[in-house]
Amino acid sequence: MISLSTRIPLIAHVQGRHGRVAIVDSHGAFAYDDLLDASARVATALLTGRDDLREERVAFLIVPGFAWVAVQWGIWRAGGVAVPLPLGSAKPELEYLIDDAQASALVFDAQAASLLTPIGTARGIRTLSYEQIFAHPSAGLPDIGPEITNDRRAMILYTSGTTNRPKGVVTTHANIAAQITSLVEAWEWSTDDRIVLCLPLHHVHGIINVVSCALWSGATCEMLPRFDANVVWDCIAGGGVTLFMSVPTVYVKLIVAWDAASPERRAELSQACRGLRLMVSGSSALPVGTLERWKEISGHTLLERYGMTEIGMALSNPLRGERTPGSVGTPLPGVEVQLVGENGAQVVPGTPGEIEVRGPSVFAEYWGQPDATRAAFRDGWFRTGDTAVVENGVYRILGRTSIDILKTGGHKVSALEIEEALREHPAVAECAVVGVPDPEWGERVAAAVVLNDGDALDLESFRAWAKELLAAHKVPSRLLVLDALPRNAMGKVTKPALVALFQNSCGGSADV
Ligand code: AMP
């Protein structure tokens, strides 16, 4: 007989790291031994004398920090499936996730207690406060039989579908280990690394790429409760940080904060960046302008990678060697990638196709949705729904097949490609392109822009300018000037919301 913990690859991996600091948060520094102790308490509280939760789902709402990880690991050590809930959700959103996951218990911190207690009580679900659990000693965790394998379900992450309600993406312990080890190898994580987390923890980026890779490697993860550009800069300026990973909008906000700083502070921040060995961007397309500006400020060419909740990371620019702006590089270790046409056959290099991914990092199923799971795979390959093209041996993402590949007047065009061109306009600070249904054109190319302070833009002059850079059918025939683009918690533009904005507005349209 063997303890469940030693069968969970991530937890088995950290045994024997006595005295090493695993996590730093606003409460202090916590060693790997503290994490093992606290997660054992959580597991004991969840088990209440049973030997194994047998994949019961435990949903939790906790501010990023040591407690968040202790609860995730405690659920795993008790044999449960961890369901991290998004901070900042409204009550009906949380109710949907808790009901869909059929959670048997809810764990929360003091901040979330008043939101989750009534939800649990109304459903007869156990509610546990982290503070209370932590005050209790741990019992020895039970041994379990060899039938427990890495194929056990470990986590459900909800992905926001573009039209439907969020689907629960189930990963096993083996999937998670594969997602972690691929990145640890490619980006050469080591015990000497220290990373700052400023991403939300209901998403693969923060959970796997930052926190889990750090802990797997014996590194230290400095966890911020939320993103604040000045606080992130303070962490970097404080020294010792070796890695930073985030989304394009975070880099944009860090650039704005750097621009607003005094010349002395700017010099200090830029100098501090030189101490890092790697800075990564992903989860949405990195504008080339942002990459270039960040390089001027930090000296780093951001490493852009591509991944998604269902597959972890799949494509990455190299750690060593040339990084191609606007591209996401080549397949990561252990990940197979192919591009296919509508008939499912591989396309020739240079022709756009849908990205399909195969390998041990690919998720197990959509929770409770066997039909959706079946539909997501073709001959064992996961169909990502993203279109890409291979040019000079590296992949370039053209966008979500369903939303970013527009069909206008018989042409297929990439919204991401048009956005990249429109950002060149001197008045444009941010830009997002969508296809708006149109009886004549199928879809019209529609651009929403946020302008630089004090600038103005009208459709006619914008079109005249854009025609110098883009073929006529790619030039937007609709324009909306907004104060801000609609974005989700990961900073991604919520394009369906943008389409709705265009459909509800009549201004800014050109007859073409
Ligand atoms: P999520 O499951 O929330 O991580 O979203 C995954 C989606 O984000 C992918 O299917 C892509 O559409 C998009 N994505 C991730 N990384 C990139 C990237 N580097 N460039 C463009 N799109 C990306």
Instruction: Clarify whether residues 128 and 213 are in a common domain.
Output: no
Q: Whole-angstrom Cα distance, residue 378 to residue 397?
A: 21
Residue 123 shares a structural domain with residue 247: no
What is the structure's pLDDT at 508?
Answer: 53
Tell whether the model's pLDDT for residue 292 goes beyond 90.
yes
- Read off the tokens for 456: 């103005």
Q: Which of 301, 323, 339 is where one domain is finished?
A: 301
Same domain membership, residue 207 and residue 133: no
- Which CATH number do you get for residue 41? 3.40.50.980
Domain end marker among 238, 269, 301: 301
Test site for ligand 1: of 156, 201, 283, most ligand atoms within 8 A of the Cβ: 283
Q: Which atom of ligand 1 is nearest to the CA of 328?
A: 19
Q: Looking at residue 1, what is its pLDDT?
A: 38
Which pLDDT tens digit goes with each residue over 60-117? Answer: 999 999 999 999 999 999 999 999 999 988 899 999 999 999 999 999 999 999 999 9
167 is a domain residue: no
Helices and strands (H and E) in the chain: how many: 17, 28
In a domain, 444, yes or no: yes
Look at ligand 1, atom 10, and give the residue with the nearest C-alpha: 308
- pLDDT value of position 184: 98
Residue 433 in this model has a pLDDT that exceeds 90? yes
Asked whether residue 273 is domain-assigned, the answer is yes
Residue 49 placed within a domain? yes
Domain count, the chain: 3
Nearest 5°: the CA angle 384, 283, 391 is 65
Per-residue pLDDT, 3: 62
Those residues whose C-beta lies under 8 Å from the C-beta of residue 216, and which sit 6 or more positions away, are 10, 13, 14, 180, 181, 184, 189
pLDDT in tens, 235-259: 999 999 999 999 999 999 999 999 9
Where among 273, 301, 329 does a domain terminate? 301
Nearest CA to ligand 1 atom 6: 308
What pLDDT, on a 0 to 100 scale, did the predictor assign at position 454?
A: 94
CA dihedral 367→370→373→377, nearest 10 degrees, is 160
Residue 397, ligand 1, Cβ within 6 A: yes
- Do the domain assignments include residue 324? no
What pLDDT, in 10s, does the model give residues 112-128?
Answer: 999 999 999 999 999 99
Q: Give me the mean pLDDT over the 458-477 stretch.
A: 94
* Same domain, residue pair 144 and 19: yes
Lowest mean pLDDT, pick from 130-134, 139-143, 163-167, 399-403? 139-143
Decide if 499 is inside a domain.
yes
Count the neighbouring beta carbons within 10 Å of the beta carbon of residue 244: 26
Atom from ligand 1 closest to the CA of residue 309 = 2
CB 292: neighbour CB atoms within 10 A?
13
Give the tokens for residue 59. 């949903």
Is residue 395, in this structure, part of any structural domain at all?
Answer: no
CATH assignment at residue 486: 3.30.300.30
Determine whether the shortest distance from the Cβ of 400 to ligand 1 is under 6 A.
yes
Rounded Cα–Cα distance for residues 383 and 376 (Å): 6
411 is in which domain, residue-wise? 405-509
313 CA to middle of ligand 1, Å?
9
Which position has the higher pLDDT, 410 or 214? 214
Q: Probe ligand 1: pick from 171, 199, 203, 397, max atoms within 8 Å of CB?
A: 397
Query: What is the rounded CA–CA span in Å between residue 52 and residue 144?
Result: 8
Nearest residue CA, atom 1 of ligand 1? 308
Say yes or no: 11 and 124 in one domain.
yes
Half-sphere exposure of residue 419: CA atoms within 13 angstroms, side-chain side: 29
Does the CB atom of residue 388 touch ligand 1 within 6 A?
A: no
Percent of the chain clearing pLDDT 70 (strictly above): 95
Same domain, 486 and 432: yes
Domain annotation covers residue 216: yes
- How much is the pLDDT for 507? 54
pLDDT given for residue 418 in this prediction: 95
